Copies of this chain bind each other. A is one copy, B any other.
């Protein structure tokens, strides 16, 4: 092997590794959802329901020339979010405690408002969306991103796995929320009178050729979330332990080399007129 051939091999090798790495990065959940969460320069953006800052850190870093006010009802979450953003040296976010149904802002001051994985928890999403619309300038854009548990599709299929997912859906419903709200973004946006409403579905498709999604999404995001309702679902009599455990086992079964798992997030945008 001469130097030239060696260099070529290195270059190709590097190039392949680099491509894989970039692909790996680009194909994470965050990028599937936020690849196009780009605001015009110097936008003044409200992030509603920021929680511990999981989305804040992505959208603020992707839009360094815009300024964000990120609000949440929970002081504890805001403290966590503040620490996270500080640790990442992100400077364009201000946090504020606020009730989504009654925002402490004047009318028509924001260029954009974004709400990620929050509407599913609300008993009155229309009221919250109207409140977001109120604080948007005319011509301002509203963005909402929500999942939909009814979109979970997998191989091997399993009625037990569907039954375990249904436990989460039922408990969310009992709390006044809606785990299947993603499919409703279009009627929700239209119902508050937004124009130019466009819904863009973002499917997470995971099989063994995409191990970062098998681990990052099926195992560590989705199945972990469903496992989290085990005790409550059993206590409330929505399921029994044996059925639930079989469902969780079958969800993990989809992470084996011949398994497949799909889940769809819906991203809606609309304009205040």
Binding site for B on A (CB under 8 A): 148, 150-151, 153-155, 157, 180, 183-184, 186-187, 190-191, 197-201, 203, 205, 207-209, 257-260, 262, 264
Contact = CB atoms under 8 A, between A and B. Distances in A.
- Per assembly, the copies of the chain total 2
Nearest to A155: B183
Nearest to A207: B186
A246 to B, nearest CB: 19
A213 B260 CA distance: 27
A155 B199 contact: no
A187 B153 contact: no
A42 B104 CA distance: 65
Contacts of A200: 205
Interface residues of chain A: helix, strand, loop or mixed (majority):
strand
Given A153-B264, A184-B260, A199 B207 contact: yes
Task: From A154, A183, A199, A205, name the one whose CB has the most chain B CB atoms within 10 angstroms.
Answer: A183
20 contacts: A148-B153, A150-B153, A151-B262, A153-B183, A154-B183, A155-B183, A155-B184, A157-B183, A183-B260, A184-B260, A187-B260, A190-B208, A190-B257, A198-B209, A199-B207, A200-B205, A201-B203, A201-B205, A201-B262, A203-B264
Nearest to A261: B183
B153 A258 contact: no
Given A153-B150, A262-B201, A208 B180 contact: no
Contacts of A203: 201, 203, 264
Contact of A264 (B148, B154, B262): B262
A191 B259 CA distance: 12
Nearest to A184: B155
Contacts of A205: 199-201
